[in-house]
Structure 1
Amino acid sequence: MDVKLLAVVAALTAVIYVPPSQGKPISLVERCYCRSTVSSLPRGYIRELRFIHTPNCPFQVIAKLKTNKEVCMNPEIRWLQQYLRNAINKMKKSKQAN
């Protein structure tokens, strides 16, 4: 048998029988937007809130400030927890009304 043909057959055999990698490429791994959070931010500085929940990351709250800067907020802030409770209750009431 020719050496080149034998090498090709061996390479194809190795590719077929080697189990696929369990890890994902770095570009496909979901990265968390918030790496650090702010724990004290007055409500008056905030223009809008954005909430992100992904399978690989904890619940994340991004606040867009009046200066157009975005910061990650600690979701355990007391006034933010109350804000979320009120929003959920409002949604429940609107669904019951329909």
Structure 2
Amino acid sequence: MDLKVIAVVTLLMVTMCIHVSHAKPFSLGERCWCRSSENTVPKSSIKQLKFLNTPNCPFQVIATLKNNKEVCINPQTLWLQQYLKNALNK
């Protein structure tokens, strides 16, 4: 009977270790989406824009292109600044 208890405890410990090792560390959840941004994305290739304003990250603009690729756009890009200005005036 002692051997069965040891086997069960060992299995429980192994199971607990497996679940912990696949967990996402907290620090990864707090990282910014955009690590670098592009300055030369033409407006005509953009399908959708997303704006992210998270507490620990600068203002981020994510563009979904017509080929479904996502890229980060520099928020200081002139055409994007004009777009945001027009959107706020409406």
Please indicate, yes or no, whether the TM-score normalized by the shorter chain is above 0.5.
Answer: yes
Alignment of 1:1-98 (within 5 A): 26-27=25-26, 30-90=30-90
- Structure 1 unmatched ranges of 5 or more: 1-25, 91-98
Please report how far the alpha carbon of residue 86 of structure 1 lies from its aligned counterpart in structure 2 after TM superposition: 0.5
Identity of aligned residues (%): 60
1:21 corresponds in structure 2 to none
Please report how far the alpha carbon of residue 33 of structure 1 lies from its aligned counterpart in structure 2 after TM superposition: 0.1
Which structure 1 residue ranges, 4+ long, deviate > 6 Å from structure 2?
Answer: none
| TM-score of the pair, normalised by structure 1 | 0.63
* Paired AA for residue 81 in structure 2: Q
Greater CA radius of gyration, 1 or 2?
Answer: 1
RMSD: 1.1
* Paired AA for residue 26 in structure 2: S
- Structure 2 unmatched ranges of 5 or more: 1-24
1:52-76 deviation per Cα after TM superposition (whole angstroms, max 9, x unaligned):
0011000000000000000000000
